[in-house]
A and B are shown apart, each in its own frame.
Chain A
Amino acid sequence: DTAVSQTPKYLVTQMGNDKSIKCEQNLGHDTMYWYKQDSKKFLKIMFSYNNKELIINETVPNRFSPKSPDKAHLNLHINSLELGDSAVYFCASSPESSSTGTSGSTDTQYFGPGTRLTVL
Protein backbone atom coordinates (compact mmCIF):
# COMPACT_ATOMS: atom_id res chain seq x y z
CA ASP A 1 0.00 0.00 0.00
CA THR A 2 1.41 3.33 -1.06
CA ALA A 3 1.00 5.91 1.68
CA VAL A 4 1.98 9.06 -0.22
CA SER A 5 2.08 8.84 -4.01
CA GLN A 6 3.08 11.30 -6.67
CA THR A 7 2.54 11.35 -10.41
CA PRO A 8 4.37 11.57 -12.65
CA LYS A 9 7.69 10.28 -11.37
CA TYR A 10 9.54 12.00 -14.21
CA LEU A 11 8.46 15.05 -16.15
CA VAL A 12 10.40 16.57 -19.03
CA THR A 13 8.99 19.68 -20.63
CA GLN A 14 9.86 22.81 -22.55
CA MET A 15 10.34 26.27 -21.09
CA GLY A 16 7.15 28.28 -21.01
CA ASN A 17 4.84 25.30 -20.65
CA ASP A 18 2.31 24.81 -17.86
CA LYS A 19 2.42 21.52 -15.95
CA SER A 20 0.94 19.84 -12.90
CA ILE A 21 2.25 17.31 -10.42
CA LYS A 22 -0.28 15.29 -8.47
CA CYS A 23 -0.01 14.06 -4.90
CA GLU A 24 -2.30 11.74 -3.02
CA GLN A 25 -2.09 10.35 0.50
CA ASN A 26 -4.18 7.49 1.87
CA LEU A 27 -3.13 7.99 5.48
CA GLY A 28 -6.05 10.15 6.49
CA HIS A 29 -3.68 12.99 7.32
CA ASP A 30 -4.88 16.54 7.77
CA THR A 31 -1.91 18.41 6.40
CA MET A 32 -0.01 18.09 3.15
CA TYR A 33 3.16 19.79 1.93
CA TRP A 34 5.25 20.42 -1.14
CA TYR A 35 9.03 20.55 -0.95
CA LYS A 36 11.61 21.34 -3.61
CA GLN A 37 15.02 19.70 -3.58
CA ASP A 38 17.33 22.05 -5.38
CA SER A 39 20.56 21.41 -7.23
CA LYS A 40 22.49 21.74 -3.99
CA LYS A 41 20.36 18.94 -2.51
CA PHE A 42 18.58 21.19 -0.03
CA LEU A 43 14.98 20.26 0.66
CA LYS A 44 12.96 23.44 1.04
CA ILE A 45 9.34 23.85 2.05
CA MET A 46 7.15 25.47 -0.58
CA PHE A 47 3.58 25.09 0.63
CA SER A 48 1.45 23.34 3.16
CA TYR A 49 -2.31 22.86 3.25
CA ASN A 50 -4.39 22.14 6.33
CA ASN A 51 -8.10 21.53 5.79
CA LYS A 52 -7.92 23.31 2.42
CA GLU A 53 -6.28 26.33 3.94
CA LEU A 54 -2.87 27.48 2.79
CA ILE A 55 -0.71 27.72 5.88
CA ILE A 56 2.76 28.34 4.55
CA ASN A 57 3.85 30.03 1.39
CA GLU A 58 7.58 30.59 1.43
CA THR A 59 9.19 32.92 -1.09
CA VAL A 60 7.91 30.92 -4.01
CA PRO A 61 7.05 32.60 -7.33
CA ASN A 62 3.35 32.97 -7.96
CA ARG A 63 3.80 30.77 -11.03
CA PHE A 64 3.51 27.95 -8.53
CA SER A 65 0.06 27.29 -7.16
CA PRO A 66 -1.05 24.42 -4.93
CA LYS A 67 -4.55 23.10 -5.40
CA SER A 68 -6.29 20.76 -2.98
CA PRO A 69 -9.55 19.27 -4.31
CA ASP A 70 -9.96 17.31 -1.08
CA LYS A 71 -8.05 16.38 2.07
CA ALA A 72 -6.28 13.46 0.39
CA HIS A 73 -4.88 15.42 -2.55
CA LEU A 74 -2.56 18.38 -2.97
CA ASN A 75 -1.57 19.07 -6.56
CA LEU A 76 1.13 21.47 -7.65
CA HIS A 77 0.52 23.59 -10.73
CA ILE A 78 3.38 25.41 -12.36
CA ASN A 79 2.83 28.03 -15.05
CA SER A 80 5.35 29.36 -17.54
CA LEU A 81 8.05 26.90 -16.56
CA GLU A 82 11.60 28.21 -16.36
CA LEU A 83 14.95 26.44 -16.52
CA GLY A 84 15.48 27.08 -12.82
CA ASP A 85 12.38 25.12 -11.96
CA SER A 86 14.24 21.91 -12.78
CA ALA A 87 14.44 20.00 -9.51
CA VAL A 88 12.96 17.10 -7.62
CA TYR A 89 9.65 17.95 -5.96
CA PHE A 90 8.48 15.99 -2.94
CA CYS A 91 5.01 15.84 -1.52
CA ALA A 92 4.54 15.03 2.17
CA SER A 93 1.73 14.68 4.68
CA SER A 94 1.37 14.74 8.44
CA PRO A 95 -1.45 13.75 10.79
CA GLU A 96 -2.18 17.18 12.23
CA SER A 97 -0.87 20.67 12.47
CA SER A 98 1.34 21.91 15.28
CA SER A 99 -1.48 23.70 16.99
CA THR A 100 -1.34 22.56 20.58
CA GLY A 101 1.46 24.83 21.62
CA THR A 102 3.28 22.02 23.35
CA SER A 103 6.92 21.61 22.57
CA GLY A 104 7.46 18.36 20.78
CA SER A 105 3.89 18.14 19.45
CA THR A 106 4.96 18.47 15.84
CA ASP A 107 4.01 15.41 13.89
CA THR A 108 6.25 13.45 11.62
CA GLN A 109 5.89 14.08 7.93
CA TYR A 110 5.66 11.21 5.45
CA PHE A 111 7.12 11.77 2.03
CA GLY A 112 6.20 10.69 -1.45
CA PRO A 113 8.78 9.26 -3.86
CA GLY A 114 9.42 12.56 -5.58
CA THR A 115 8.89 13.92 -9.08
CA ARG A 116 11.95 14.82 -11.11
CA LEU A 117 11.08 17.84 -13.25
CA THR A 118 13.41 18.75 -16.09
CA VAL A 119 12.79 21.95 -18.01
CA LEU A 120 14.57 22.19 -21.36
Chain B
Amino acid sequence: DQQVKQNSPSLSVQEGRISILNCDYTNSMFDYFLWYKKYPAEGPTFLISISSIKDKNEDGRFTVFLNKSAKHLSLHIVPSQPGDSAVYFCAATAYSGGGADGLTFGKGTHLIIQP
Protein backbone atom coordinates (compact mmCIF):
# COMPACT_ATOMS: atom_id res chain seq x y z
CA ASP B 1 0.00 0.00 0.00
CA GLN B 2 1.82 3.05 -1.28
CA GLN B 3 0.83 6.00 0.81
CA VAL B 4 3.16 8.30 -1.10
CA LYS B 5 3.31 7.93 -4.84
CA GLN B 6 5.61 9.35 -7.43
CA ASN B 7 4.22 8.09 -10.68
CA SER B 8 7.01 9.26 -12.94
CA PRO B 9 10.11 7.08 -12.55
CA SER B 10 12.11 9.51 -14.66
CA LEU B 11 11.91 12.99 -16.13
CA SER B 12 14.12 14.61 -18.71
CA VAL B 13 14.32 18.42 -18.88
CA GLN B 14 16.46 20.78 -20.87
CA GLU B 15 18.90 22.96 -18.98
CA GLY B 16 17.42 26.36 -18.17
CA ARG B 17 13.81 25.16 -18.35
CA ILE B 18 11.48 24.37 -15.49
CA SER B 19 11.46 20.92 -13.88
CA ILE B 20 8.21 19.85 -12.26
CA LEU B 21 8.19 16.75 -10.08
CA ASN B 22 4.89 15.45 -8.81
CA CYS B 23 3.86 13.52 -5.75
CA ASP B 24 0.50 12.19 -4.53
CA TYR B 25 -0.42 10.86 -1.13
CA THR B 26 -3.33 8.93 0.27
CA ASN B 27 -3.00 9.31 4.04
CA SER B 28 -5.05 12.31 5.15
CA MET B 29 -3.15 12.34 8.45
CA PHE B 30 0.03 13.51 6.75
CA ASP B 31 0.71 17.10 7.74
CA TYR B 32 4.31 17.69 6.77
CA PHE B 33 5.93 17.03 3.45
CA LEU B 34 9.54 17.01 2.37
CA TRP B 35 11.58 16.65 -0.78
CA TYR B 36 14.93 14.91 -0.72
CA LYS B 37 17.56 14.77 -3.43
CA LYS B 38 19.79 11.75 -3.81
CA TYR B 39 22.94 11.24 -5.84
CA PRO B 40 24.21 7.71 -6.57
CA ALA B 41 25.98 6.05 -3.64
CA GLU B 42 24.98 8.86 -1.27
CA GLY B 43 22.24 9.26 1.32
CA PRO B 44 19.19 11.44 0.65
CA THR B 45 19.80 15.15 1.22
CA PHE B 46 17.03 17.39 2.46
CA LEU B 47 15.93 19.94 -0.12
CA ILE B 48 12.75 21.71 0.92
CA SER B 49 9.65 21.08 3.01
CA ILE B 50 6.15 22.36 3.49
CA SER B 51 3.64 22.21 6.31
CA SER B 52 0.00 21.43 5.64
CA ILE B 53 -0.94 24.89 6.88
CA LYS B 54 0.72 26.38 3.81
CA ASP B 55 0.21 25.89 0.11
CA LYS B 56 3.56 27.14 -1.11
CA ASN B 57 7.13 27.33 0.10
CA GLU B 58 9.97 28.81 -1.86
CA ASP B 59 13.72 28.54 -1.42
CA GLY B 60 15.85 29.95 -4.20
CA ARG B 61 15.27 27.97 -7.38
CA PHE B 62 13.09 25.46 -5.56
CA THR B 63 9.38 25.87 -4.86
CA VAL B 64 7.06 23.29 -3.38
CA PHE B 65 3.30 23.56 -3.89
CA LEU B 66 0.76 21.69 -1.79
CA ASN B 67 -2.83 21.03 -2.79
CA LYS B 68 -4.42 19.42 0.24
CA SER B 69 -7.80 18.81 -1.30
CA ALA B 70 -6.18 16.88 -4.14
CA LYS B 71 -3.58 15.30 -1.83
CA HIS B 72 -0.95 16.41 -4.28
CA LEU B 73 2.32 18.23 -4.06
CA SER B 74 4.85 19.28 -6.62
CA LEU B 75 8.42 20.48 -6.68
CA HIS B 76 9.36 23.15 -9.20
CA ILE B 77 12.97 23.80 -10.09
CA VAL B 78 13.65 26.85 -12.19
CA PRO B 79 15.92 27.27 -13.96
CA SER B 80 17.09 23.67 -14.09
CA GLN B 81 20.83 23.14 -13.92
CA PRO B 82 23.01 20.10 -14.75
CA GLY B 83 23.78 19.60 -11.05
CA ASP B 84 20.09 19.06 -10.44
CA SER B 85 20.32 15.67 -12.13
CA ALA B 86 19.55 13.23 -9.32
CA VAL B 87 16.77 11.11 -7.87
CA TYR B 88 14.16 13.15 -6.02
CA PHE B 89 12.17 11.57 -3.23
CA CYS B 90 8.92 12.93 -1.90
CA ALA B 91 8.33 12.14 1.78
CA ALA B 92 5.53 12.74 4.25
CA THR B 93 4.85 12.34 7.90
CA ALA B 94 1.97 12.68 10.34
CA TYR B 95 1.94 13.88 13.89
CA SER B 96 1.40 10.76 15.92
CA GLY B 97 0.51 12.25 19.25
CA GLY B 98 4.02 12.21 20.60
CA GLY B 99 7.33 10.58 19.88
CA ALA B 100 9.47 10.50 16.82
CA ASP B 101 7.90 10.00 13.42
CA GLY B 102 9.41 8.13 10.56
CA LEU B 103 9.06 9.46 7.07
CA THR B 104 7.05 7.68 4.41
CA PHE B 105 8.83 7.95 1.11
CA GLY B 106 7.74 7.75 -2.50
CA LYS B 107 9.67 5.63 -4.92
CA GLY B 108 11.60 8.55 -6.36
CA THR B 109 11.81 10.32 -9.71
CA HIS B 110 15.06 10.34 -11.61
CA LEU B 111 15.52 13.86 -12.99
CA ILE B 112 17.88 14.19 -15.92
CA ILE B 113 18.89 17.68 -17.00
CA GLN B 114 20.02 17.76 -20.60
CA PRO B 115 22.49 20.41 -21.78
Q: Residues of A with Cβ closer than 8 Å to B?
A: 4, 31, 33, 35, 40-45, 48-50, 55-56, 58, 90, 92, 94, 97-99, 101-106, 108-114
Q: How many residues of B contact A (CB 8 A)?
A: 31
Tell me the interface secondary structure of chain B in the complex. Answer: loop
Question: Does chain A have a CB within 8 A of B105?
Answer: yes
Given the complex, which residues of A lie within 8 Å of B97, measured CB to CB? 101
Find B107's partner among A42, A45, A109 (CB 8 Å cutoff): A42
A-B pairs with CB below 8 Å: how many? 90
Cβ contact within 8 Å between A112 and B96: no
Q: How far is the CA of A112 from the CA of B38 in the complex (A)?
A: 11
Question: Does chain A have a CB within 8 A of B53?
Answer: yes
Find A106's partner among B32, B89, B98 (CB 8 Å cutoff): B32
Cβ contact within 8 Å between A98 and B101: yes
Cβ contact within 8 Å between B99 and A101: no
Find A42's partner among B36, B42, B44, B105 (CB 8 Å cutoff): B105
Cβ contact within 8 Å between B100 and A97: yes
Cβ contact within 8 Å between A41 and B107: yes
Q: How far is the CA of A33 from the CA of B52 in the complex (A)?
A: 23
Question: Does chain A have a CB within 8 A of B7?
Answer: no
